[in-house]
Chain A
Amino acid sequence: MSAGIGALGEAISACAKLHLSLTKAVLRKLVRARRSDSQIEDRLFSALLGSVLRRGELDVMVCASKNDRRFRVILHASQIDRFKQALTTAETMLRTERAIEVPRLEKVIFGKRSYNTWSSTSHVLGRISYLGLGRLDADGRCHLVDKIAC
């Protein structure tokens, strides 16, 4: 049993490592797909996710939604510097272009599109919105808050 739990913890970490950031729901879906096991109970998954977070292999970042409500995204420790770099890139683009659409930033950060890159890009903009430099509209486009950016 402990071997199974250990393997599940490793799967959580391994799945998170492949992405810049993920929501808990997406991570759970990826872990289930990786293990071909759709029976992993939510409570078990949450407990093991907690244990991987406790070990410092993963971390969370607070972002804001279109409605300025906060939500958390999960980052693998090896992706934290890359996420910060993406934030710097997005901030620079936002200050220059005054508005950014997800696909445009996605291309700059990732080059080619692949699974979850759109979501990770929206998390970067969500973080900028949480801090207040930008504001998301209904389509997920991020607009510079001009007066603050000066």
Chain B
Amino acid sequence: MLTTPLAAISLLYSRQGWQPCSLLAKAADILGVDRHGKFAFERISLRATDRVAEAVFIGTARSCGVYSYASPIQDSKGQRREASEIVNDTNIGDLRFEVTSGSHTTIQYLKEARQALWNALSIEAVTKGHDICIRVRQPAGDIPSPPKSKAWFFERLEDRVYATLRRTFLQHAVEDVQLADFFDGMLYVFRNEDGFCEFNRDAALVPMMIADYCTRNQRHFAMQFDSLQHSGVIGVAIDRSGTHAIARGLCACILPTPCQQFDLTWSSPSWSPISGGLILFPKGH
């Protein structure tokens, strides 16, 4: 069996879309690449360990994710480095990665995926109880009226707009027809004065789901970060042209809070898993 370590908040692409390790089943089909470089799902097992260790955030022009300090990651030249080496001994700006933002299956946001999205949006919210209420990042005077939405309820309060996502969101599968409504509303909520959507770094699932959505709908996007050395936020510029499958490394930093470690195990030696858009390799290979 082949094993690679990940952090509890590392993102894997299941048949329900991006999800953190901590919310995935112990056995699941996740996306990876086979020996021909083609995308393929493979059955993996995930085991929560007792290990708590440093986690590394890596952002590229088309992806973002958190990895275990010891996760082996492959760059576009086929070179493999542990996340610790990328953050400590390498200039991230010199690295390029083959990135997978998503869009490789017919996905339905079922129970666990919706819960993961709800948890991530809660990080950005005013209230974290029954409904999620988020302050629209731009002042009301600077933006057009909110879009009509069945997923979001928008309300203007003086010079601010607030968006509410109902708890019922968690009770029904999100169908394709609702996704455009949901994502368009989300882009409206998080777009800042500089014209890109900005998310807390701890809510990395949300920008990766937006990346997946944009890829499906053939909309260009580019991710951006505070600097090569650190970022407290993840920026997503939508409809920005000039992005490529080979993405430049844009940010690498160690997270200030250690994270529970998971072991990802699979059997096929000709397949490699994808986490947070990047290709991983088994430990010791």
Q: Which A residues are within 8 Å of any B CB, using their own CB?
A: 50-51, 53-62, 68-70, 72, 75, 77, 80, 130-133, 135, 145, 147-149
Compute how far the CA of A148 lies from the CA of B87 in the bound complex, rounded to whole angstroms: 41
Within 8 A of A (CB), among B110-158: 124-127, 133-135, 137, 139, 155, 157-158
Is residue B175 contacting chain A, with contact meaning CB distance below 8 A? Answer: no
Contact of B257 among A51, A58, A68, A77 (CB under 8 A): A77
CA distance in complex: A148, B129 (Å): 12
Whether the Cβ atoms of A131 and B124 lie closer than 8 Å is yes
Chain B residues, Cβ within 8 Å of A62: 198, 200, 232-233
Least CB distance, A63 to chain B, in whole angstroms: 11
Q: Does B171 touch A at the CB level, under 8 Å?
A: no
**What is the total of A-B residue contacts with beta carbons within 8 Å?**
75
B215 at the interface (CB under 8 A from A): no
Alpha-carbon distance A75/B256, docked complex (angstroms): 10
State whether A56 and B232 are in contact (beta carbons under 8 Å apart), knowing that A132-B133, A148-B126 are contacts in the complex: no
Cα A69 to Cα B194 with chains together (Å): 11
Given that A60-B230, A148-B162 are contacting pairs, would A131 and B257 also be in contact in the complex, using a CB cutoff of 8 Å?
Answer: no
Shortest CB distance B93–A (Å): 12
CB-based contact B254/A55 at 8 Å: yes
Number of interface residues of B (CB under 8 A): 34
Q: For residue A68, which residues in chain B have a CB less than 8 angstroms away from its CB?
A: 139, 159-160
* CB of B252 closer than 8 Å to a CB of A: yes
Partner of B255, one of A56, A133, A149: A56
Please, which residues of chain B bring their CB within 8 A of the CB of A133? Answer: 126-127
Shortest Cβ distance from A99 into chain B, in angstroms? Answer: 15
A96 CB, nearest partner CB in chain B, Å: 16
By a CB distance below 8 angstroms, the chain A residues around B135 are: 130-132
Closest CB-CB distance, B98 to chain A, in whole Å? 24
Nearest chain B CB to A89's CB is how many angstroms away? 16
Closest 4 CB pairs of A and B: A132-B135, A56-B254, A53-B230, A60-B232
User: Could you say which residues of chain B place their CB within 8 Å of the CB of A132?
Assistant: 126, 133-135, 160, 162
Besides A50-B228, A72-B232, A148-B126, 15 more A-B contacts (Cβ < 8 Å) are A53-B230, A53-B253, A54-B254, A55-B253, A56-B54, A56-B253, A56-B255, A59-B256, A60-B226, A61-B232, A72-B226, A130-B135, A131-B126, A145-B157, A148-B162
Residues 29-64 of chain B, each 1 if its beta carbon lies under 8 Å from chain A, else 0 = 000000000000000000000000010000000000
Q: List 30 A-B contacts (CB under 8 A).
A: A50-B228, A50-B229, A50-B230, A53-B230, A54-B230, A54-B253, A55-B253, A56-B54, A56-B253, A56-B255, A58-B256, A59-B232, A60-B226, A60-B232, A61-B232, A62-B198, A62-B200, A69-B193, A70-B192, A70-B198, A72-B226, A77-B256, A130-B135, A131-B135, A132-B134, A132-B135, A135-B158, A135-B160, A145-B162, A149-B126
Q: Tell me if B227 counts as interface (CB < 8 A to partner A).
A: yes
Residue in B155, B158, B229 whose Cβ sees the most chain A Cβ within 10 Å = B229
CB distance from A27 to the nearest CB of B (A): 14
Bound form: Cα–Cα A59–B133 in Å: 25
CA distance A22 to B137 in the complex (A): 23
How long is the Cα–Cα vector from A100 to B179 in the complex, in angstroms?
40
Report the bound CA distance from A56 to B66 in whole Å. Answer: 13
Q: Given contacts A56-B54, A70-B192, A131-B125, are A80 and B229 in contact (CB under 8 A)? A: no
Considering the chains assembled together, what is the distance between the CA atoms of A11 and B134 in angstroms?
38
Q: Are A148 and B139 in contact (CB-based, < 8 A)?
A: no
How many Å lie between the Cα of A51 and that of B252 in the bound state?
A: 11
Closest to A80 in B: B256
Q: Nearest chain B CB to A48's CB is how many angstroms away?
A: 10
A84 CB to nearest chain B CB (Å):
11
